[in-house]
Amino acid sequence: MKIKHTFILIGVVALVFACATNPFTGKKTMALVPNSQLFPTAFAQYSQFLTENKVITGTKDAEMITRVGQRIAVAAERWLNANGNQGYLNDYKWEYNLVDDKTVNAWCMPGGKIVFYTGILPIAANETGVAAIMGHEVAHALANHGQQRMSAAYLQQGIAIAGNIAISDENARNAFNQYYGIGSQLGVMLPFSRGHETESDQIGIYLMAIAGYNPSEAAELWKRMKANSDGQAPPEFMSTHPSNDTRIANLTKWAPQAKVEAKKFGVTTFR
C-alpha cells in the first residue's frame, strides 16, 4: 500500500471514531478511548496516588479545597443543564484532595478526581485564586481533554508506524522519522495542547463566575504565576502552555463576558 493511501486510511479510521462532542464548544473531538474505559482507569490511578502521598485533611485549607471544588462542580452542572446537556456528569465521581507537596501544581483527572498541592496555595493567595485554578482544572476534565490527548497520541503513533511500514528505503525512512517526530510535535501536538489550555482558561473563568467567584481575579492569579516563574519559560511555540502574558491578556478580556454569563444564573455579586 502506498504511504499516501496508508495515511488516508488512518485518517478515515480516526474520523469514524471522533464522535465525542465538547459540550462547551459544540466541536467534535477525537474519542479513540471511550470514557467507559478511561474513567475506571483514572479512578484506580487516583486511588493509588492518594495511598502514595500525604493527603491533608481536617485543616482550613483542605476544607477550602473541597468547598471550592463543590461550588465549581455545581456551577458546571447548572451550566450543562441550562445548555441541553442534562446527565453529562452522571459518571463523574467528584473528589477533592489537598496533598502535602511543594510542587506548584493542581490537576483534575478524567471523571472529576482533583488534587491540589500545598505548593500552589501561596500563589493562589486566597479562595478566589483557588477557584480560578479549580475552574481551569475541572474544565480539562469536562471538555474531555485527557481523552483527546490520548487519542491524538495514538493517532500520532499510528502514523509513525504506518510510515515505517510503508517506506522501504532505509534513508528515506530515517528522514521520515526525524522530520515527522519534530514536525508532528511542534506543528500538531504542542499547538493541540496549548489549545486545550486556552479552552480550559475560558471555560474555567466562566465556571468560577457562575460559582460566585470574581472572574477578574483570574488574570491576577496569572500575574502571580508569572512572577513566581522568574521569567523561566520556553518560547510559546515550544511549550505545552500559552505564555503567561497570553493567558493574562485572554483572562482580562474574558472576565466581563464571564460576569455576563453568570448573570444568566442570577449571580451578580462575587466573592
Residue 193 lies in a domain: yes
- DSSP helix/strand/coil, 20: strand
Report the domain count for the chain: 1
Euclidean distance between CA atoms 145 and 199, whole angstroms: 10
Residue 163 lies in a domain: yes
Residue 139 lies in a domain: yes
Euclidean distance between CA atoms 180 and 189, whole angstroms: 12
Residue 112 lies in a domain: yes
Residue 259 lies in a domain: yes
- DSSP helix/strand/coil, 123: helix
Residue 215 lies in a domain: yes
CB atoms within 10 A of CB 90: 6
Q: In what order do the strands lie in the sheet with 113-117?
A: 55-56, 95-99, 113-117, 106-109
- Structural domain boundaries, residue 30: 3-263
**86 grid coordinates:** 442534562
Crossing angle of helices 244-263 and 217-229, in 10° steps, is: 160
Say which residue the cell 504542542 belongs to.
Answer: 190
Query: Which is more confidently placed, 161 or 89?
Result: 89
Amino acid at 4: K
* Model pLDDT for residues 29-69, shown as the tens digit of each residue: 766 777 788 899 999 999 999 999 999 999 999 999 999 99
Residue 106 lies in a domain: yes
CATH number of the domain at 142, please.
Answer: 3.40.390
Annotated catalytic residue, options 77, 127, 137, 170 = 137
Q: What is the pTM of this model?
A: 0.80
**157 grid coordinates:** 503513533
Residues whose CB is less than 8 angstroms from the CB of residue 36 and which lie 6 or more positions away in sequence, other chains included: 91
* Model pLDDT for residues 208-266, shown as the tens digit of each residue: 999 999 999 999 999 999 999 876 665 654 565 678 999 999 999 999 999 999 999 99
Name beta bridge partners: 99: 55, 117
Euclidean distance between CA atoms 84 and 27, whole angstroms: 15
Name beta bridge partners: 113: 95, 109
Residue 268 lies in a domain: no
* Model pLDDT for residues 111-166, shown as the tens digit of each residue: 999 999 999 999 999 999 999 999 999 998 898 766 666 656 666 677 767 777 88
Model pLDDT, residue 145? 67
Lowest mean pLDDT among 15-19, 42-46, 107-111: 15-19
Name beta bridge partners: 95: 113
Active site annotation includes 77: no
**216 grid coordinates:** 477578574
Dihedral sign (CA 110, 24, 264, 91): negative
